[in-house]
Amino acid sequence: MTPKLKPLAEQTMVITGASSGIGLVTARMAAKAGAAVVVAARNGAALENLVHTIREEGGRAAHVVCDVGREADIARVVETAVREFAGFDTWVNNAGISIFGRLWEVPMDDWHRMFDTVYWGTVHGSLAAVRHYRDRDVPGAIVNIGSFFGDKAPAVQSSYASAKFAVHGFTGSLRQEVESEGWPMSISLIHPGRIDTPYNEHAGNYMPMQPVHRGMIYPPEAVAEAILWCAAHPKRDMFVGSQAKFAAMMGAVAPRLTDRIMEVLMYTGQQSRTRKANGDHERALYEAGYGGHERGTHEPHWLRGGSLYVKATKRPALTAAAILGIGTLAVALARRGGAGATYGPAAPPVSEQDRPAPQADRSFGVAEVALPVEA
């Protein structure tokens, strides 16, 4: 059964992880589109400021200080949505955090804490939304934020990739079970590439240098656009950027080649060349990180203005053309990089003195070799 979802302007949306980055931008864009929003995160001050701003601009909003890893906190979010707006129509599981470091360097307590947020937060939120829609016999949407690292696992962010793979698997199983019951619910999975948010600033870090984004980066508005589309239009998957789709397709078409490229590039490619780690390994794992910021701090990069892949996905004919083009590119690269390819150790970091004056460092690695151009 394909559910008939309300127009965005008639909806109430619950958004977790709304104190910064993707969640913050999504809440602002949803409110401007006319939706009421219930925003949840651990940073109460950032949420209060967000709600105040939305209300000043004529919007409707409420907030809940919440740790999504605790099922009781999720229950309070539901109670707030029911009390303030008589329920909700879309639930967005966005809260997340990463850890940088090799598998054996990250303490098990950090692994568990990160899974509490990324995986169990998604499970708690999704099941709360299912019960809400089922018990009221109303259509509704659940939008889970995955990752292109949930399609192709990288080195160095192994714990995060593991959690996102779990999110992807859970979302697929949830969709099948809901559809088998005939319940009018849309279950969507968003696959973002690298996004310009405080992702690295919040992440736990066990590398010698600060984690950074380099290469192609997409604005958080591109992810928010995908989320808001799924809130009103049933959609199984949406990839944010050809970067994300290309990484998934390369991993499927040429898995060993993709592994080797990532082995060489990912360790140095995710570290700053100039800024040493500050020794704060846990950062926002166990307490709220700084909030109210949409963007992060990055080294020379190529910041896109948006994602044409998202816009194409909203139009089926363009989607088919985009997938055909990216698939052709992936096959060509797989053939080119087959027999005879050699791999050496990653080059050492380049000092500021030796680095040429950067215009745009487009060296993402596996997902940015001859990518299709997007605006």
- Catalytic site positions: 160
Distance CA 121, CA 50 (A): 22
Scored b (16 or more CB within 10 A) or e, 272-294 reads bbeeebeeebbbbbeebbebebb
Q: Quick one: tokens of 189?
A: 């999975």
With beta carbons less than 8 A apart as the criterion, state whether 247 and 193 touch: yes
Distance CA 366, CA 368 (A): 6
DSSP 61-82: EEEEE--TTSHHHHHHHHHHHH
Residues 6+ apart with CB under 8 A from 73: 40, 64, 66, 67
With beta carbons less than 8 A apart as the criterion, state whether 285 and 110 touch: yes
With beta carbons less than 8 A apart as the criterion, state whether 268 and 347 touch: yes
Q: Quick one: tokens of 273?
A: 């060349």
Distance CA 252, CA 126 (A): 28
With beta carbons less than 8 A apart as the criterion, state whether 240 and 179 touch: no
Among 6, 9, 12, CA closest to 84:
12
Query: Which residues sit opposite 92 in a β-bridge?
Result: 15, 143
Residues 6+ apart with CB under 8 A from 152: 247, 248, 250, 251, 258, 262, 366
Locus of tokens 């401007």: 32
Residues 6+ apart with CB under 8 A from 269: 214, 215, 363, 364, 365
With beta carbons less than 8 A apart as the criterion, state whether 250 and 366 touch: yes
Q: How many residues does the chain have?
A: 375
Distance CA 127, CA 134 (A): 10
